[in-house]
DNA sequence: GGATAACATAGGCACATCCTAGGGAAGCAG
DNA sequence: CTGCTTCCCTAGGATGTGCCTATGTTATCC
């Protein structure tokens, strides 16, 4: 079997026209290099050097092999260098999962943070769908993610809560923002909810369902839309009210619904934002980097939670 | 130390997303491939796959490594292929030594023979200087050569006589061609000799010196020139006579000195043409090819000698 | 002709490679 | 939820490879 080691010994010998000199350069004893050359000649089935008393002389086959041997060694070195550069965050891809409101108001900033520190990397922020993200985590396609999670930890997953974000009632009608909104009022309200919020396995869904369930009523949504932005716009147009995380409200209402405002629920409800990864996994430097930066971003906006 | 074997195992595993499948493809047991992957991860200092229960999932580092691993394997395969193609005479260089009159009237034909059989090869016919050729043989830079040699074998060299070529006296004066030329007449003649013939360590030099020495006289050359062609031209112009191998006379006189002719010496003298290579060497296929073709060419012109 | 230099050979140690056997966790089916 | 299958890991042992030192052989140099 052809090996890089054989090619390295071959090249050193070819260049020095001497096995002894090659061994010295490579830091081996002379018989070791001699053996590698012999092995290479055997695998190729052809003599590469003529042993002529004292000294060796390359054959024309050696002349032909040399550039290919150099190219192969160079390719291997390049492979090593490429990996090193990825490890050093100079190149390569950093993949991180981020779903729910977290991505909404921290995603772009997080990517900016990463690129500011490591301009050469590609960043993939995965988070089209909360189910997919959890599935990706479970299957190992994603190493770590920041999610809005139910308070209990998922099976086989390690969950580190880093912040909580209050769920606030938003409306374009100042009347409805005078006092905190009770479950009763919430159940009677005409709501627009982003579908993802209801369907996804995150804490918003769990929290609100639970709150409404206590009134004995099912969630009443007049309108269901895909994303939070659309919901906020509809609130701004006075067509319905909604419940969204405070962080999203701060960011979206001035831009999309300047006439709307927000008020707490009563009792207060919170989304829990947490770092999630497979239990027992050793995190890569890239994952640790993303966790650190994402946590900092989130905690600058939402209310930090002491880990555990 | 990075190895091709590790890269092969890595690629198979990456493509199948499975160590077991990779092992099956490569013909190994599963733990063997597993160990190679682990070794590669150790040398690179980074995880390439996440072990996620049943199955493995490539990391982004693996994504980055893959093209380089493929390039490295391809380069190694290319090296192997290049050598195979040289061994099959499809490419590469064939080097052969040929000095003296042999090259003069068999060189071009020999090269043509080689190229007819193996159109892709480069041919190097070494023979500027007989001393250099012998030195190249001794130092191993040349594997084999065809030379005009003294009858005794050189030290450490294996000499296989393949033909002899009579040395003939050539002149533009028909008077001098009536009878064979004795040593006496030769010593008195006004000669033009190609310098190479006199200075080189080949049989012509030895033979003629010996012949003249018996008359008690030193070689008398009126003119010395570099090459045989010039000598023949000068003979054709009637400025001097010369002694050259019969094969050279046949080829050169009609072309360069149509008015000249030739006659034997008395006693007849011969150049011995022989294949020479280092004693105890195992000849490469290329060398055997050249020896076969050169011998055939020479024996078609000069008088064949049974080997040994 | 003896000293020197360079490669081959021999023998031995350490580690790599590869195998089989068996354990554990995840996924899947009943 | 229980058992089966799949896939990876670990353990242990046989074989092979890599590397060393010591020594033999041969050509070169003085």
Span B112-128, pLDDT tens digits: 999 999 999 999 998 87
Per CB-CB distance under 8 Å, the chain B contacts of A126 are none
Nucleic chain D contacts, protein chain B, residues 209-248, CB cut-off 7 A: none
Q: Which nucleotide is nearest to A55 (CA to C1')?
A: C6
Nearest CA-CA partner of A26 in A43, A6, A46, A48: A6
- Cβ contact (<8 Å) for B72 and A55? no
Mean pLDDT (chain B) is 87
- Which residues of A fall within a CB distance of 8 Å from B94? 60
Confidence band of A308 (pLDDT split at 50, 70, 90): very low
- B137 to chain A, any CB pair closer than 8 A? The answer is no
Distance B16 CA to D2 C1' (A): 31
> Is the minimum distance from the CB of B4 to strand C below 7 Å?
no
CATH classification (class only), A4-86 = mainly alpha
* Protein residue closest via CA to C1' of C17: B32
Is there a contact between B45 and A2 if contact means CB atoms under 8 Å apart?
no
- A4-86 and A163-271: same fold? no
| The pLDDT value given to residue B86 | 95
10 Å CB burial of residue B104 (0-12, 13-18, 19+) is buried
Predicted pLDDT of residue B218 = 63
Q: CB–CB of B195/B176 below 8 Å? A: no
Q: Among the listed ranges A173-187, A283-297, B99-113, which one has the minimum average pLDDT value? A: B99-113
**What Å value separates CA A126 and C1' D8?**
28
Contact B76 A78 (CB under 8 A): no
A46 touches chain B (CB under 8 A): yes
A37/D23 CA-to-C1' distance in Å:
21
Per-residue pLDDT of chain B (308 residues; tens, 9 = 90+): 899 999 999 999 999 999 999 999 999 999 999 999 999 999 999 999 999 878 899 999 999 999 999 999 999 999 999 999 999 999 999 999 988 777 777 888 999 999 999 999 999 998 877 767 878 888 888 999 998 876 545 667 888 889 988 889 999 999 999 999 988 888 888 888 876 655 555 566 677 777 777 776 666 677 878 788 888 999 999 999 998 888 888 888 999 999 999 999 988 988 888 898 888 788 999 999 999 999 999 998 888 887 54
Is A152's pLDDT higher than 50?
no
Higher pLDDT, B172 or A103: B172
* 3 state DSSP class of B228: helix
Q: Find the DSSP H helices in chain B.
A: 4-16, 19-26, 30-44, 60-87, 101-117, 130-139, 183-188, 195-199, 203-213, 228-236, 246-256, 285-301
- Provide long-range contacts, Cβ within 8 A and 24+ apart, for B214-221: B214/B183, B215/B183, B215/B184, B215/B187, B217/B187, B219/B191, B219/B193, B220/B187, B220/B188, B220/B189, B220/B190, B220/B191, B221/B191, B221/B192, B221/B193
Phi/psi-derived region of residue A111, left when phi > 0, alpha when psi is between -120 and 50, beta in every other case: alpha
Q: Which residue of A has its CA nearest to B52?
A: A140
Question: A141 φ, ψ to 5°?
Answer: -70, -30
Q: Of the candidates A56, A72, A94, which has its C-beta nearest B60's C-beta?
A: A94
φ, ψ of residue B160 to 5 degrees: the values are -120, 100
Q: Mean pLDDT throughout A242-268?
A: 90
> How near does any CA of chain B get to the CA of A292, in Å?
19
Task: Give the closest residue to A56 by CA, choosing from A65, A48, A67.
Answer: A48
User: What's residue B21's pLDDT?
Assistant: 94
Mean pLDDT calculated for residue range A47-75: 93
The DSSP symbol for B154 reads P
Of B4, B82, B278, the CB nearest to A65: B82
Shortest-distance nucleotide from A22 CA to C1': C6
With 0-12 CB in 10 A as exposed, 13-18 as middle and 19+ as buried, what is B226? exposed
Cis peptide bond N-terminal to A246, omega within 30: no
Cα–Cα dist B101/B158, whole Å: 20
Among candidates A44, A71, A286 on the partner chain, residue whose Cβ is nearest the Cβ of B83: A44
Using a pLDDT cut of 70, give the percent of chain A over it: 90
- Residue A159: the pLDDT is 87
Pick the CATH number of A163-271 from 3.40.50.300, 3.30.460.10, 3.40.190.10, 3.30.70.20: 3.40.190.10
Listed range (A82-91, A98-107, A171-180) with the worst mean pLDDT? A98-107
- Please answer yes or no on whether A3 and B3 come within 8 Å at the CB atom: yes
Res A102: pLDDT = 78
Q: Specify the nucleotide whose C1' lies closest to residue B55 (CA).
A: D7
Class of CATH domain B93-152+275-304: alpha beta
Query: Please, which pLDDT band fits residue A247 given cuts at 50, 70 and 90?
Result: confident
CATH architecture of A93-158+273-304: 3-Layer(aba) Sandwich (3.40)
Q: Which residues of B touch A26 (CB under 8 A)?
A: none
Q: Which residues 156-175 of B interface with strand D at a CB distance below 7 A? A: 156
pLDDT band at A301 (very low <50, low <70, confident <90, very high): confident
- Distance of C1' in C4 from CA in B139, Å: 18
pLDDT, averaged across chain A: 87
Q: State the Cα torsion B210-B215-B216-B221 to the nearest 10°.
A: -70
Indicate yes or no: CB of A87 within 8 angstroms of CB of B46. Answer: yes
Q: What is the model's pLDDT at position B213?
A: 75
> Taking CB atoms and an 8 Å cutoff, what residues of chain A touch B278?
50, 52
**Predicted pLDDT at B220:** 64
What is the spatial distance, in angstroms and rounded to an integer, between the CA atom of B34 and the C1' atom of C18?
A: 11
* Domain residue limits, chain B: 4-86, 93-152+275-304, 163-271
B83 at interface of A, judged by CB pairs closer than 8 A: yes
Provide, in whole angstroms, the distance separating residue B32's CA from nucleotide D12's C1'.
14
The answer on pLDDT for A14 being more than 50 is yes
Report the 10 Å Cβ neighbour count for B282. Answer: 10
Whether residue A273 is predicted with pLDDT greater than 60 in this model: the reply is: yes
A301 Cβ partners below 8 Å, 6+ apart?
A105, A106, A163, A165, A247, A250
For residue A80, list chain B residues with Cβ-Cβ distance below 8 A.
2, 44
Distance between terminal CA atoms of chain A? 54
Query: pLDDT tens, B235-271?
Result: 999 999 998 888 888 888 999 999 999 999 988 988 8
Instruction: Give the model's pLDDT for residue B152.
Output: 47
């Amino acid at each position: 079997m052809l090996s890089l080691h054989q090619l390295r010994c071959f090249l050193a010998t070819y260049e020095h026209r001497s096995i002894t000199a090659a061994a010295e350069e490579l830091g081996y004893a002379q018989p070791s290099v001699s053996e590698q050359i012999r092995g290479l000649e055997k695998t190729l089935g052809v003599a590469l050097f003529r042993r002529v008393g004292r000294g060796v002389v390359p054959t024309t086959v050696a002349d032909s092999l040399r550039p290919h041997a150099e190219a192969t060694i160079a390719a291997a070195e390049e492979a090593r260098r490429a990996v090193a550069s990825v490890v050093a965050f100079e190149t390569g891809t950093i993949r991180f999962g981020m779903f729910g409101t977290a991505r909404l108001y921290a995603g772009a900033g997080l990517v900016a943070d990463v690129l500011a520190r490591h301009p050469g990397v590609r960043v993939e922020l995965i988070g089209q769908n909360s189910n997919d993200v959890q599935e990706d985590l479970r299957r190992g396609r994603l190493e770590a993610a920041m999610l809005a999670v139910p308070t209990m930890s998922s099976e086989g997953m390690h969950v580190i809560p880093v912040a909580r974000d209050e769920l606030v009632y938003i409306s374009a009608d100042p009347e409805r923002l005078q006092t905190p909104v009770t479950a009763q009022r919430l159940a009677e309200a005409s709501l627009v909810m982003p579908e993802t919020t209801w369907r996804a396995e995150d804490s918003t869904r769990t929290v609100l369902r639970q709150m409404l369930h206590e009134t004995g009523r099912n969630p009443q949504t007049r309108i269901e839309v895909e994303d939070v932005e659309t919901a906020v716009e509809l609130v701004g147009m006075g067509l319905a009210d909604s419940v969204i995380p405070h962080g999203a409200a701060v960011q979206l209402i001035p831009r999309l619904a300047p006439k709307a405002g927000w008020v707490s629920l009563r009792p207060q409800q919170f989304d829990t934002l947490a770092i999630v990864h497979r239990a027992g996994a050793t995190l890569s430097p890239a994952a640790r980097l993303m966790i650190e930066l994402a946590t900092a971003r989130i905690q600058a906006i939402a209310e930090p939670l002491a880990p555990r």
